[in-house]
Amino acid sequence: MDRHMSYVQKHPKVTKDRLAHFMSDNLLKDANLRAALYDGRVNGSPHIKLEVWAASGLERPTFAEAVKQEYKPVDIGHMFGPSWASHWVRATLQIPEEFAGKEVRLIFNPSCEAMVWSEAGEPLQGITGGDGRELHVDYIVTKCAPQASEPQLQVVLYLEVASNGTFGNGDFVIGPPKPDREFRLASADLVVYNHSAWAMFYDLQILKDMAAPLPDTSSVRAWQALATANAMVNAFELGDPDSIAEARAIGAQFFAAKGGEANHQVYAIGNCHIDTAWLWPYDETKRKIARSWSTQMDYMDRYPEYKFAASQAQQFEWLRVLYPSLFERMKEKVKCGQFVPIGATWSEFDANLPSGESLVRQFLLGQRFFEKHFGERSKVFWLPDTFGYSSQLPQIVRLAGAKYFFTQKLSWNNVNKFPHTTFRWIGLDGSHILTHMSPAETYVGQVTASELVDSLKKHKDIAYSNESLYLYGNGDGGGGPLEAMLERMRRVKDVDGLPKVKNAHPNEFYEHIEKTAKELVAWKGELYFELHRGTYTSQALTKKYNRQCEFLLRDVEMLSVIAQTVDSRFAYPADELTRMWQQVCLNQFHDVIPGSSIEIVYKDSTAIYEEV
């Protein structure tokens, strides 16, 4: 070991490159650790039979409509499209005898987004295809395939394929959508995971990330991480299961070293920030919600310690109406504390353009929904991605029954960096709310050592509070945490060289801060965001319609009260007014009213305004 340590210290870049090659999905993938990740793989007939039906136009048919259609055979290489079109794939799976007694997964990569449905019409799990970091294309068909003496298992699944990527249909992340984009069916395999090899892979991901700063750091643990990873690579022999156990035992010695009592404490919560509209229309968001949240509920079953937060009452309402079985399943997860409804508002609204009355309605509608369906109001005002924050908000937050605020957007300021992490935000009337901005400076964390270290390094109020909140999971276009993230989360819970990490409800974090933090600084007035420009001027018609609707709804409410006073036979139109306020508050979403969405979104928002 000493000899290897000496070489590692002399040539850290060479060792880091060696580790990267050992884990690479391209170079040497037939001989490195990647070659050991699967114990079996089959595709094609008779194991997988694929058939497809394409919906006409840009319709998004329901499962009940789709199963009645005529399906045609399809194979790998089939193209789904054009942009925003829907395709349904029927997959008939025959589990091979050699997979007996093993967990079997379907790998289905349509290069776009999809939802897995059971033959009985139950939405099961989302799929995120392609080749980006959001990739999630595996679905567990069975946890234990039948033995050879038992009847062989045949499973029929339906896959609702949406012809759009996680970030819409542009050529780049925020590019305008192409009307004729197509997506290739890249794979459809039945596989058996080698869970020991995958566990070794997750171990190495943490070690590799901890060693990344070398040689530009004097951290002993960084050097130990690199030496440990190198020794694990040395121990590995492709085709020898015992060598994986030996390598993992080496890694276990590293992870067994715990941090000190005074270590920084990270409170971690999974999330999949879903923009209610942005590079995709509202109707696609409705499917993104179901895809993302069904996936996370599956992870909750497999990782009982896992907690996941989601905001925006509007999105919960869409799930309730369009996917009632998923909504009921979600309510069970809320009861057991794994699924955390949060945010207090109808949508994650823009906080500059709407009127004060609209801001109040956002909280009124949101808290009413949470109280009705989940039994309590949200204590946390959750707005991580909005383009600045009005000084009216602390007062409104308090009056709505919340007292905490989370964001991280101001970390993007490109002129004046915001000077605080944990502080009291004071409104115009003197109301204050305990506020935290994640020092990891992201709401789409990947559970990497570097992000966890940033939670300490970039904490601007560490003298008063030695804790931080960390949001992880793929977002903006949805998805959420991946299995790899949850595995890494288990490994970094308490490791010397990193902050301590715990899965926690955000309320637990804020309540702890409230009890223990001393001398927190205060910030009075607006929280101004210095990056996104033009939000007061872009899409002027949308802004005009918003203000007209705000005035119109106020007038209708006032006149209705007067009419009811004058004539007791007049029935106050409470339900209809609530519905219209919900529509106006929907269009106040922080990528709609500011003007930062694609054209198709404004066709939808204009239709909503005209209806109101």
What is the full DSSP assignment across 477-494?
B--B--HHHHHHHHHTTT
Residue 467 to residue 545: CA distance in whole angstroms: 44
Establish whether 385 is a catalytic residue.
yes
Residue 425 to residue 397: CA distance in whole angstroms: 11
Contacts of 45 (CB under 8 A, 6+ apart): none
What is the full DSSP assignment across 409-433?
GGGG-SSS----SEEEEE-TTS-EE
Half-sphere exposure of 239 (CA within 13 A, CB side): 2
Angle separating helix axes 574-587 and 356-374, nearest 10 degrees: 110
How big is the CA angle at 451 (ends 450 and 457), to the nearest 5 degrees? Answer: 85
The helix/strand/coil state of 576 is: helix
Q: What is the DSSP secondary structure assignment for residue 343, as one 8-state letter? A: B
Contacts of 259 (CB under 8 A, 6+ apart): 494, 495, 496, 497, 498, 499, 500
Spot the catalytic one: 75, 385, 494, 604.
385
Q: Is 391 exposed, middle or buried (0-12, 13-18, 19+ CB in 10 A)?
A: middle
Contacts of 109 (CB under 8 A, 6+ apart): 127, 129, 130, 135, 137, 185, 186, 187, 188
127 and 105 in contact (C-beta within 8 Å)? no
Q: What separation, in Å, do the N-terminal and C-terminal C-alpha atoms of the chain show?
A: 73
How far are the Cα atoms of 39, 202, 274, 275 from residue 282, in angstroms, in the given order?
42, 36, 11, 9
Contacts of 442 (CB under 8 A, 6+ apart): 408, 451, 471
Residues with catalytic annotation?
Answer: 385
